[in-house]
Structure 1
């Protein structure tokens, strides 16, 4: 990532590029990000909200290096107002996303048992049962159906509620809060949703101080009871984990839009069940997981990157989407190549902030792909691709509805 600048002078900073919040449809790559990638390994951007500008790194090796570099802090972002895509920014104290080491490991360790291979494996049978109920209900009602509303939204929501330990009576409220938070709704509506969700977690964590269960809220309650975490930290960990379940809905929605609009891909998915894990990895590399970029980091000291100086206090973003299209790592990156190997994509992040729920997300994605592909061998879009509605003014990309027939 860093370069030896002893033999050549530092370059002047590149111009600041405005990066608007685009309402993109389909699974096409963000054209602004594509242009920034062509301009060089490090550029400067101004996003739709917040203040000032930020550096952006787009190449695979640079992204991996920076997210592991302790000279760049997530915690420092929580106390400032950097340029950003989110219209409202008020990090919850104790949030895993804004913690640096060693606090990050301490917070993550408290909930780790719920997201290990053992913890996720324990849920697999129950998740398959829940998914089968949704799929059979859709099949019984007959086509056409909205795959998003009937399966892709309720299944991840129910799964994350199981993992978190949310009683069935509270799951609809939790779903409504989540949808409000991930949308780009007004500040007041978003604040009310966060107040409701975090208030619920505050009460439950307190009530489960002596819990022995393996769900997330019980683990957090026990950690607070032992003094490993403060109550504020426990709530800051719980909220983003609950909200994170929304990602599976959108990712799998993007995948099925691709499969249903590219018959050759769907045919291989149906014909080679033994290779579906590899095919799904390539879809994960290719699909647009989010709009623009995620969370910034702040340089804690001056750092030289590709011949320019990033000064202490300046914000830096990395793009996992562009890293997944780096031609030095992924030959012919604009093509969905089911035979791509190796495929070291960064769709779940990298480094200390690698997605805590990656194993759970993979398990859900595998179940959804296997179950839907096998149960509906003639699954197809019920409308022309151009008529599929897409989420607008949201931080993550995906079809708002996916009308299908079979």
Structure 2
């Protein structure tokens, strides 16, 4: 390519254009170094120091996680995270064909899993269960969920203090609510509960977890098969009917149901973190007690603030060259986003490391963004509100039964939270 230039003539006659080579294109800057990102066993609600450094180093960096192969790009700015998670040029499905660097030691994606579906498959798979997670469905569920919670809290009160909130309330409540939404028969809930606890447990090893998965997924397949003609509105019945109509395969239905059945884990540990913050920050607890009508925005701020997980979630693969914040991500390269980092972006959240109960607006990404926005977000929010309201209202003197430093936290885990939360009242 050439550029044409002219030079002024003393005679006033415009000379012929003179050709000269165009300047060479700017060289692509060297990519950032690849940083190893171990899954640290962090205490309390401490923000991951490695992620803090990565955010400081640049909006788009490169990381290597403990398992898988190679390295991946990492986007941490709010706007970049929203771009990557809402852009069809970044594929989840393509990851299932690769050994991308990752946190999880084992990688066994199941057919039908929403987590790995791209459009239009994602909408096709999500459609059969969407009706079970609407705002209207949650309003209908609320009285039954409150009754389940009241029974758990009532039993704890009858036994008297001290008590472990995780064991007595925070773990069994979400599991019971999910059983209601999924349509697990009462007589079979204890068995499903046992499988679920083993799958999410950090003890027992991979073999025990695999056995529990085989048992639970086998039970789900049999239940869906038996409900092909059902008109009920629980998830397993909706999936059975969708299989019966030929909208999804049985294998896809099982892959959809499994993660939803296990989904109470996030509520357990997110609420554990929120309550720990309230129990260790008197001013925050006072605010929640003095203004119960305004708890909603405070819960949003706590959802923004808490470090929900270790490192990052699921990767995407660039299907073509894409520029993100001035960085060219080449086709075939893996990309992670950090919702935790996006929720601490100072350009969107002033003083992001401060819990501000009056933060407004608060467009946090705690439930994700784009097509993979959390299917159960409305259900998770309902359970969170019920848990916080019920515990604060029925236990006016609620406080930790041990010094904060003696609260045990989950280790070697993808979802962070207190392992136990000893309280008294």
TM over 0.5: yes
Aligned mates of 2:347, 2:405 — CA distance in 1: 33
Aligned CA RMSD, in angstroms, stands at 1.3
- Cross-structure match for 1:396: 415
Q: Distance in 1 between matches of 2:63 and 2:398?
A: 42
CA distance in 1, matches of 2:202, 2:414: 7
Q: Distance in 2 between matches of 1:9 and 1:190?
A: 50
- Tell me if structure 2 keeps the 8 A contact 1:12–1:308: no
The structure showing larger relative contact order (alpha-carbon pairs under 8 Å, at least 6 residues apart) is 1
Alignment of 1:8-87 (within 5 A): 8-87=26-105
Determine which of 288, 311, 316 is the counterpart of 2:307: 288
TM-score (normalised: structure 2): 0.92
What is the CA-CA distance between 1:309 and the residue it aligns to?
2.3
SS for the counterpart of 1:11 is coil
TM-score (norm. length: structure 1): 0.96
Residue 3 of structure 1 aligns with which residue? none
User: What are the Cα deviations for residues 265-324 of structure 1, in whole angstroms up to 9, with x where unaligned?
Assistant: 000000001110011100110011111100000111122223332121111000000000
Q: What does residue range 6-405 of structure 1 map to in structure 2 within 5 Å?
A: 8-183=26-201, 186-405=205-424
Q: Distance in 2 between matches of 1:250 and 1:173?
A: 22
Unaligned runs of 5+ in 2: 1-23
Per-residue Cα deviation, 1:340-376 (whole angstroms, up to 9, x for no partner): 0000000000100000000000000000111111111
Quote the Cα distance in structure 1 between the aligned partners of 2:283 and 2:174. 27
Shift of 1:222: 0.2
Decide whether the 8 Å contact of 2:81 with 2:342 is kept in 1.
yes
> Would you say the 8 A contact 2:80–2:325 is kept in 1?
no
Equivalent pairs, count: 401
Deviation at 1:7, TM superposition (A): 7.7
Residue 4 of structure 2: aligned partner: none
User: Over residues 30-65 of structure 1, what are the superposed CA-to-partner deviations in whole Å (9 max), with x where a residue is unaligned?
Assistant: 111111000000011011111111110001000011
- How far off its partner does 1:184 sit? 5.3
Q: Which runs of 5+ in 1 are unaligned?
A: 1-5
Question: SS of 1:316's equivalent?
Answer: strand
Determine the C-alpha separation between the residues in 2 that align with 1:193 and 1:45.
Answer: 33
